Amino acid sequence: MLMGTVSALLGPGEAWLITLIALCSIVVGSGLLFWQHRVARRPQATDRPPTAGFAAVALELDSEAAAVLRPMRAYVDAQE
């Protein structure tokens, strides 16, 4: 019914062009949704748990920072 009304208002070539554009947009939209769903299911690098090496480096940096702050605190305490 709607297509008949559109065909009456427009020429047959214009009606087919609108139909073709609508079908192409459906195909492209479906392809984009499929691609987005496929990418979302792929495991991300941020989903991995931290490794033991990372924890060891963090502990080493913390101890080095504490070693640097000890003389600083002694200096500040001596000034007071």
Query: pLDDT, tens digit, for every residue of 12-62?
Result: 788 888 889 999 999 999 999 999 888 878 776 565 665 667 778 888 889
- The domain in which residue 4 lies consists of 1-42
Q: What is the length of the chain?
A: 80
The C-alpha R_g of the chain, in whole angstroms, comes to: 33
Same domain? 69 vs 36: no
Same domain? 4 vs 34: yes
pLDDT of residue 44: 67
The answer to whether 7 touches 15, Cβ cutoff 8 Å, is yes
Q: In the chain, how many domains are there?
A: 2
pTM of the model: 0.41
Distance from C-alpha of 11 to C-alpha of 67, rounded to nearest angstrom: 84
Q: Which long-range contacts (CB under 8 A, 24 or more apart) does 50-54 make?
A: none
